[in-house]
Amino acid sequence: MKFTIGKPEFIKVLQRIQGIVEKRNTMPILANVLIESSQGRLNIMATDLEVFIRDESQADVSEPGSVTVNARKLFEIVKELPSDKVDVSTSKEDRVTVKAGKAKFSIMGLPSKDFPVFPAIDDSRLEPVDSVSLKEMIDKTSFAVSTDETRYNINGFLLEKEENKIRMVATDGHRLAFIEKQDLKSAVQKEGVLLPRKGVMEMRKLLDEKEGSFLLGVTEKSAVMKKDATVISVRLLEGEFPDYKKVIPKDNDKMALAERAALLSSLKRVSILSTDKIKGVKFSFLKSRLVLSSSSPDIGDAVEELDMDYSEEDIEIAFNARYFIDMLEALDDEKVRINLKDPLSPGILRPEGSDDYTYIIMPMRL
């Protein structure tokens, strides 16, 4: 194999696959990128067997061929090369030579025949998707996904179709976020699928590329996103997502309306002196105001008061400040509604004037 490619184009495709490459090295070849060259095109692929990505770039190919090479090392080399043109060639022993200007690198590769096969994609099952809506759904739920790998059924997102809406739900057992949209319903052909966090976050990176159109398809075994020549295929999680509808409180009759930015700033300040591990902050809802307080036996305490639209009976309830902050940072609305019942029941947070997004947060004992 022998080809010449522009450094910017090569960096772009190599950078895109870095987050997918397997880092734990369970199979050495999963740390590699597959490079195939033919007829003026370069095909590049990476996988961790859960997420697959395939991309293309134009190249001046003088000898077609294929090889796999360490993805991270190749990216680091190309990024530091002194020239805008990169020459890549391989020998019979799968040794890859990278040259630019007076710099030359030789890296050991592995045979391309041992690389996993990219899943078959049925383009007829892909539908145009509103990238802005999908990006919003991910951004407003991703922080609530569990990172506890023993609880694999909540290590991702529930995507479900219900009547004329699509709903995305995430939880870690202490909080729950869900959002509904109508723009995506035609792309989801199976009700109630579990998407792994890593795969969804790789799709989210692709959504940042504003130019071009996006196609999405969710079928029995995978979710596929396509933008131009870039294709991401994500294997669905197995298992059953918890019945989240049961944990949504029905009788939280005490409603407060707060300025989102002011509440966010106050929480960040007060939580500085909360206990590091649990980040507990006491919320005291009083007439027309909220008093936030935290204390740590070894450090000290903090109190801050802010104006709030609240006219119900006084109530004191403690929450994990980090969980509250995550949600407030994900919103861009001016005001947020907080619905409460009592100090031992979950709180409900929603943007003012909208019920499409809901955040449930469990109280704490301080």
List pLDDT tens digits, range 174-187. 999 999 998 676 66
Q: Which percentage of the chain shows pLDDT scores above 90?
A: 81
Q: Which percentage of the chain shows pLDDT scores above 70?
A: 98
pLDDT band at 37 (very low <50, low <70, confident <90, very high): very high
Are 227 and 264 in a shared domain? no
H/E element, 358: strand 357-361
Adjacent-strand bridge partners of 358 = 178
Mean pLDDT of 82-95: 94
Are 269 and 313 in a shared domain? yes
Average pLDDT of the chain to the nearest whole number:
93
Are 230 and 271 in a shared domain? no
Are 206 and 303 in a shared domain? no
Are 138 and 213 in a shared domain? yes
pLDDT score for 185: 65
Are 10 and 65 in a shared domain? yes
Place of tokens 């105001």: 289
Is residue 33 in some structural domain?
yes
99: which residues sit within 8 A by CB, 6+ positions away? 86, 87, 88, 105
Q: 200-254: per-residue pLDDT in tens?
A: 999 999 999 877 789 999 888 899 999 999 999 999 998 899 999 999 999 999 9
Indicate the SS3 state at residue 185.
Answer: helix
Are 309 and 290 in a shared domain? yes
Is residue 120 in some structural domain?
no
**From CA 78, how far away is CA 42, in angstroms rounded?**
15
Is residue 281 in some structural domain?
yes
pLDDT band at 314 (very low <50, low <70, confident <90, very high): very high
pLDDT score for 182: 83
pLDDT band at 162 (very low <50, low <70, confident <90, very high): confident
Q: Among residues 244, 275, 305, which one ends one of the domains?
A: 244
pLDDT score for 105: 97
pLDDT score for 190: 66
Is residue 366 in some structural domain?
no
Q: Is the pLDDT of residue 66 over 90?
A: yes
Q: How many helices (H) and strands (E) does the chain have?
A: 6, 25
Are 156 and 169 in contact, with CB atoms under 8 Å apart?
no
Domain housing 352: 249-361
Q: Among residues 114, 145, 165, which one ends one of the domains?
A: 114
Task: Please give the tally of structural domains in the chain.
Answer: 3
**From CA 146, how far away is CA 194, in angstroms rounded?**
13
Are 59 and 89 in a shared domain? yes
Q: Is the pLDDT of residue 305 over 90?
A: yes
CATH of the domain at 144: 3.10.150.10
Q: 219-231: per-residue pLDDT in tens?
A: 888 999 999 999 9
Mean pLDDT of 321-333: 96
Q: Among residues 114, 149, 183, which one ends one of the domains?
A: 114
Is residue 309 in some structural domain?
yes
Mean pLDDT of 289-294: 97
Are 257 and 331 in a shared domain? yes
Indicate the SS3 state at residue 139.
Answer: helix
Q: What is the identity of the amino acid at 131?
A: S
Mean pLDDT of 80-108: 95
Are 21 and 95 in a shared domain? yes
Q: Is the pLDDT of residue 189 over 70?
A: no
Label residues 136-175 b or e (16+ Cβ within 10 Å = b). Answer: bbbbbbbbbbbeeeeeeebbbbbbbbeeeebbbbbbbeeb
**From CA 306, how far away is CA 266, in angstroms rounded?**
8
Are 350 and 285 in a shared domain? yes
Adjacent-strand bridge partners of 59 = none
Q: How far apart are the first and last CA of the chain?
A: 65
Is residue 122 in some structural domain?
no
Indicate the SS3 state at residue 145.
Answer: coil
Mean pLDDT of 255-283: 94
What are the residue ranges of helices labelled H in the chain?
A: 7-16, 71-80, 131-139, 197-207, 260-270, 321-330
64: tokens are 């077609």
Q: Is the pLDDT of residue 128 over 70?
A: yes
pTM of the model: 0.92
Are 10 and 107 in a shared domain? yes
Is residue 44 in some structural domain?
yes
